Chain A
Amino acid sequence: MKKYSVFAIAREAMRGHKGWEEQWSSPEPKKEYDVIIVGAGGHGLATAYYLATVHGITNVAVLEKGWLGGGNTGRNTTIIRSNYLYDESAGIYDHALKLWDGLSQELNYNVMYSARGVMMLAHNVHDVQVLKRHVHANRLNGIDNEWLSPEQAKEFCPPLNTSKDARYPVVGAALQRRGGTARHDAVAWGYARGASARGVHIIQNCEVTGVKRAANGAVMGVDTTRGFIGAKKVGVVAAGHSSVIMNMAGVRMPLESYPLQALVSEPVKPVVPCVVMSNTVHAYISQSDKGELVIGAGTDQYVSYSQTGGLHILQHTLDAICEMFPIFTRMKMLRSWGGIVDVTPDRSPILAKTPVPGLYVNCGWGTGGFKATPGSGHVFAHTIAKDDPHPINAPFTIERFRTGRLIDEAAAAAVAH
């Protein structure tokens, strides 16, 4: 792997940019690997990267039915934060946030992580109570979060409407300054490049159609559209399709898959300096470095794999945006899209061993998995390499739905579901 640097740019400028190499190779699949990762999104590629760099396991294939980073990795709204209520969530999301800081240097790839601050608005007394509880819980866990008055919120984000006459006036806000955004495509590409350089095979257009198990129940490998590929360890990181793959191995999951939509406006000059979220009017907004306003909200209400959703969801979202930012009432929207998110009953992810020996699963990130990408890959690689969870992901088992030891962010995640 040739290092990217200012000298590399200068060198290539001198010779007509003929020396740039492919960022990752596209080899033919081998008959057998030590580990197969199903799904070449951010979480799957990060898992492969940390298997190679931290655990020295490089005989790894990442299988992708479409193209790399073409699922939810390329469809999310790129928001990064770690201000979750419970200790277990704080542990895993802040582990990720610490890895975001320095990820560009680690990967030698600019993921454009921008700690521009995530501000969550309170519009009524209940919001104030909930968000202040989050501020205190976060600070006890060593996570930065601070309470702002409406005036301070306005100062932090000038286009915000803090008028007392608003239908849902802003009465305060919680601000996590280390929160922000990153470029989602670059995250997938950077991890793919790093993993490929260390010998990981990234195999696109290769859909898993079955999971083969031996007589003793252990995993033997996977059937794919490009033939059988053997492996003693298989990690499923298939987002909205995780339950489909797990069913192939005979494991029924506590998951339901819903469409989650997002949209962007035409590009404009810098106007929103941070991420703003509101549960009560229910929408969130940030501005990409290209200038587009990036907007999202809640899922559609029904199980679907169609990667589309109802227009009324977007209308509701834009109603909320116009309520918070009347300045945008005449902004034109450029495009909208949907992704399929796998949601658990307690809205916390599952990163764990499964009842099937050699089968591991990293799923259930629901509507907010992008922010966790580096941390999720890091601890999932540990889980696969050691056949034992990392202390950080140890609570995120499948069995918690039998024991009742839930991590109930459904009521506490600081976003409405």
Chain B
Amino acid sequence: MLLIRCPYCQEERPELEFRNAGEAHIARSANMAGETDDDFEKFFFIRSNPKGIIYERWRHMHGCARFFNAVRDTVTDKFVMTYKAGEPKPSKLPGVAK
């Protein structure tokens, strides 16, 4: 089971308290009806599914119930960091090359 640090509660808690909420930093269009089919497909269905560093959303369902973002390595399942929703995608990751 993963141990996940909620950036709001400032605590590392077991995965059972959380729900994964998919890839992070996918912006929803302000004008959804005006989206082309191509753009809607990219927004709604296409995912980066990386083997390596992933930026993903989690929700602290059975805690503060808030959404936040996490950086995790999908090969080792180790978390690099978590940060609050709305904060920009971190440009430098602690302990990660490149």
Q: What A residues does B19 contact at CB under 8 A?
A: 301
Contact of A312 among B1, B46, B49, B54 (CB under 8 A): B1
Cα–Cα, bound, A244→B51 (Å)? 7
Contact B74 A304 (CB under 8 A): yes
Contact A243 B49 (CB under 8 A): yes
Interface residue tally for chain B (C-beta within 8 Å): 28
Min CB gap B71→A, angstroms: 13
Min CB gap A55→B, angstroms: 32
B49 nearest CB neighbor, chain A only: A243
Cα–Cα, bound, A403→B37 (Å)? 7
Q: What A residues does B77 contact at CB under 8 A?
A: 302, 304, 306, 308
Q: A312-B1, A345-B45 are in contact. Are A305 and B15 (CB under 8 A)?
A: no
**Residue B12 at the A interface, CB < 8 A?**
no
**Residue B26 at the A interface, CB < 8 A?**
no
Cα–Cα, bound, A310→B77 (Å)? 11
Cα–Cα, bound, A244→B46 (Å)? 13
B15 nearest CB neighbor, chain A only: A310
Chain B binder among A5-13, A58-66, A249-257, A269-277? A249-257
Q: Which of A286-315 contact B (CB under 8 A)?
A: 301-306, 308, 310-312
Cα–Cα, bound, A310→B14 (Å)? 11
Q: Mark B12-49, 1 if CB is under 8 A from A, else 0.
A: 00011001101100000000000001101110111111
Binding site for A on B (CB under 8 A): 1-2, 15-16, 19-20, 22-23, 37-38, 40-42, 44-51, 54, 56, 72, 74-77
- Having A256-B47, A310-B2, one finds 20 other A-B pairs with CB under 8 Å, namely A241-B51, A252-B46, A253-B49, A254-B46, A255-B49, A256-B49, A257-B49, A301-B20, A302-B77, A303-B23, A303-B49, A303-B50, A303-B74, A304-B77, A305-B75, A306-B74, A345-B45, A401-B41, A402-B37, A403-B37
A-B contact pairs, 13 of them (CB 8 A): A241-B51, A253-B47, A253-B49, A254-B41, A301-B20, A302-B2, A302-B20, A302-B77, A303-B49, A303-B50, A303-B54, A306-B77, A345-B45
